[in-house]
Amino acid sequence: MSIILTAFESSPDEGRGLARDMRVRWALEEVGQAYHVRLVSFAAMKEAAHLALHPFGQIPTYEDGDLVLFETGAIVLHVAQRHPGLLPEDADARARATAWMFAALNTVEPPIVEREQSWYLEGDKPWYAERLPGLNARVRARLDPLSARLADAEWLDGAFSAADLLMVTVLRRLEGSDILEDYPTLRAYIARGEARPAYRRAFADQLAVFTASRPVG
């Protein structure tokens, strides 16, 4: 029985590792679990066969025998609960790591995604420039306390955990933006995540999908 993930057949990020399958690939690499990937087109994501796996028609999905999961937070938590290496053993520390997992996805990610969407959905609108400072302020309202809390710690709460894995992937969405220039603590934190061998293997594997499918030019 083997684990099967779904991922974009043609990722809009062109292999920068921002598609959400990256999180699951990274988690599986951290715990040493092999997996297969089934690529899906944008059209196929909205068809009944895929909707049976993912009610919202997105990627990734996770299949392991009879179990089908969606939502990267839940998949990473499932992997972390079944294999050592991504959550502390102590029950209280484990609950705190889970809090940081939800913080990454429910508190830090939404204003980052909203800022991104404003660019690709409304970048040509007359109000785009006037709205941008407010969008940036909402992102900074998350990065300021996160950076303060992290301070000179290596990871969010003790050893590297599934919470750091999710938080690093969320913060990576800001790479290349001006905002991260003001947060050396967070840039170093992202770099520590990206330097992990499991991250590098996962990144190479998701990039290979893109480079293999790119037309020769």
Residues in contact with its own copies by CB under 8 A are 51, 55-58, 66-75, 77-78, 92, 95-96, 98-103, 105-107, 109-110, 113-114, 121-122, 125-127, 130-131, 134, 142, 145-146, 148-149
- H/E run at residue 35: strand 35-40
- For residues 86 and 80, give the distance between their C-alpha atoms in angstroms, rounded to a whole number: 5
Tell me whether residue 108 or residue 198 sits nearer to its own copies (CB atom).
Answer: 108
Q: Which helix (H) or strand (E) holds 210?
A: helix 197-213
Q: What minimum distance in Å lies between the beta carbon of 80 and its own copies?
A: 11
| Nearer of residues 151 and 212 to its own copies, judged by Cβ | 151
Query: Smallest distance from the beta carbon of 212 to its own copies, in angstroms?
Result: 29
Contact 2, 63 (CB under 8 A): no
- Which residues lie across from 149 on neighbouring strands? none
Nearer residue to its own copies within complex by CB, 75 or 202: 75
Q: From the CB of 160, what's the least distance to its own copies, in Å?
A: 18
Structure tokens at 52: 């049976």
In whole angstroms, the minimum distance from the beta carbon of 98 to its own copies comes to: 5
Token pair 């209280």 in the structure block, residue:
92
End-to-end CA distance of the chain: 39
Nearer to its own copies, 93 or 180 (CB): 93
- 8-state DSSP, 171: H
